[in-house]
Structure 1
């Protein structure tokens, strides 16, 4: 009976998150009421992802990885990153225009996006990932269904809310010939309206963004799941997140290329 109650709760929480897309009214943190474990939070996310895919007809197209630095993990007393699910309508390729009004309270994070040329084996390690992926310049736009969410949410809220997935913008082309050493040396320069905002380095992402994707393959492998051809993996931010505002953004990644975003 207790397990049935838990399942009902997970269904209800996932339904509440989905309803926010329709009402455009963010809700209160689940952590204010429910003491969910990490595993239970991922179960809510899984129910949410399945319901959203069925409701919208949008297929699951990959994952995003959060909390890839010791600094961000420390905020939640966590010992590892967390992930969320990407859909068809989450991903935008090439020069992209987005409307602030279409989002809730978005942030901006420059990230390398790995796109799979073929399936990865369960628990694939760094070398296989590099051999089977194209690395693209990217910008992730975290967004949440919770009101006044950043940086006040708890780890369970982040995981339940699909890793606070909003949008992921990636360059139309990338590189598939980098070594692990070259991937670790990538430098990021972020500008807004031609003005320098910040500079970041790949080492902020678990020492190397390839290690971040390897963590995800291990995490999924625990449930006998693997990353499939065509999926996109947003691997973790080079910088602390900044509030997304109107303007023209450009993220220039050495060795990889550039991605531009217009926000109106």
Structure 2
């Protein structure tokens, strides 16, 4: 395992990479024995520094919950990261590319909790009971670590590659819609690039919320009222660049549109 000094140094490297929009070498190329526990420790030090600087934590992201994403990354277990208030956009917004080192977009559902959710034996039914509403979302991935050869350790350390999210306008309670069959048709500049349905995320997108509650319990924590939980992509990531217009059709859950400028 890494020493506290090594963990703190890598967390500072990642913070600096976020400021400069540059990439750092893979952690696993320098520390091949680094563990998943090390990677969450790095993420935790980075998170605490961001909070100390004035950023407000508004939720959590879950990643690598679908076969599409696992095949795209070569990583076969879910991970999670944190989301801050200054990373939340709304449909119709212009999104500045200069905020990111690299930009990829994924199709997801987000959930807002109406009461806390705690493990260790949280089920899908428990998660659905804790969810106030679902809202369509796009996640913007942003890596501060070189992409080629990344492992789960690199990805988790880098806040699970989270950059930002774009939320739609339509909200649905879990009892109003079968969340498994919410579709996503993702287009770039008018051309369809990716499609999928939310059941691709662990069979039901809210399963990831239960998984995260159980994972948090292992660290003496829980998901809190009002938190936004980004449940994981049911499409492969789509690369975008400055000038691209992005649109995703979620059928009865509405449309998200944004432009990268």
TM-score (norm 2): 0.90
Would the aligned equivalents of 1:158 and 1:164 in 2 still touch at CA under 8 Å? Answer: yes
Aligned residue among 10, 25, 29 for 1:28: 25
Structure 1 position 247, deviation (Å): 1.9
The residue that corresponds to 1:163 in the other structure is: 160
Would the aligned equivalents of 1:174 and 1:257 in 2 still touch at CA under 8 Å? Answer: no
The residue that corresponds to 1:83 in the other structure is: 80
Would the aligned equivalents of 1:130 and 1:176 in 2 still touch at CA under 8 Å? Answer: no
Q: Establish whether residue 190 from structure 1 lines up as the match of residue 186 from structure 2.
A: yes
The residue that corresponds to 1:138 in the other structure is: 137
Would the aligned equivalents of 1:191 and 1:249 in 2 still touch at CA under 8 Å? Answer: yes
Find the aligned partners of 2:245 and 2:114 in 1 and give their Cα distance. 31
Find the aligned partners of 1:77 and 1:129 in 2 and give their Cα distance. 25
The residue that corresponds to 2:213 in the other structure is: 217
The residue that corresponds to 1:204 in the other structure is: 200
Moved more, 187-196 or 25-34: 187-196
The residue that corresponds to 1:99 in the other structure is: 96
Aligned residue among 228, 233, 241 for 1:232: 228
Q: Establish whether residue 37 from structure 1 lines up as the match of residue 35 from structure 2.
A: yes
Structure 1 position 203, deviation (Å): 2.1
Cα pair distance change 1:71/1:192, threshold 3 Å: closer
Would the aligned equivalents of 1:93 and 1:169 in 2 still touch at CA under 8 Å? Answer: yes
Aligned residue among 251, 255, 259 for 1:258: 255
Moved more, 162-171 or 111-120: 111-120
Structure 1 position 219, deviation (Å): 0.7
Cα pair distance change 1:70/1:94, threshold 3 Å: closer
SS at match of 1:239: coil
The residue that corresponds to 1:153 in the other structure is: 150
Find the aligned partners of 1:108 and 1:201 in 2 and give their Cα distance. 16
Deviations 1:74-133 (A, max 9, x none): 65464x311111111122234221021221111110100111223223454222322332
Would the aligned equivalents of 1:135 and 1:256 in 2 still touch at CA under 8 Å? Answer: no
Find the aligned partners of 1:66 and 1:239 in 2 and give their Cα distance. 12
Structure 1 position 248, deviation (Å): 1.8
Find the aligned partners of 2:86 and 2:42 in 1 and give their Cα distance. 21
Find the aligned partners of 1:20 and 1:14 in 2 and give their Cα distance. 10
Find the aligned partners of 1:9 and 1:160 in 2 and give their Cα distance. 12
Moved more, 189-198 or 31-40: 189-198
Which stretches of structure 1, 4 residues or more, deviate above 3 A after TM superposition?
70-78, 121-124
Find the aligned partners of 1:109 and 1:71 in 2 and give their Cα distance. 11
Q: How many residues align?
A: 256
SS at match of 1:112: strand
Structure 1 position 15, deviation (Å): 0.7
The residue that corresponds to 1:13 in the other structure is: 10
Find the aligned partners of 2:11 and 2:69 in 1 and give their Cα distance. 25
Moved more, 192-201 or 41-50: 192-201
Would the aligned equivalents of 2:193 and 2:238 in 1 still touch at CA under 8 Å? Answer: no
- Unmatched 5+ residue regions in structure 2? none
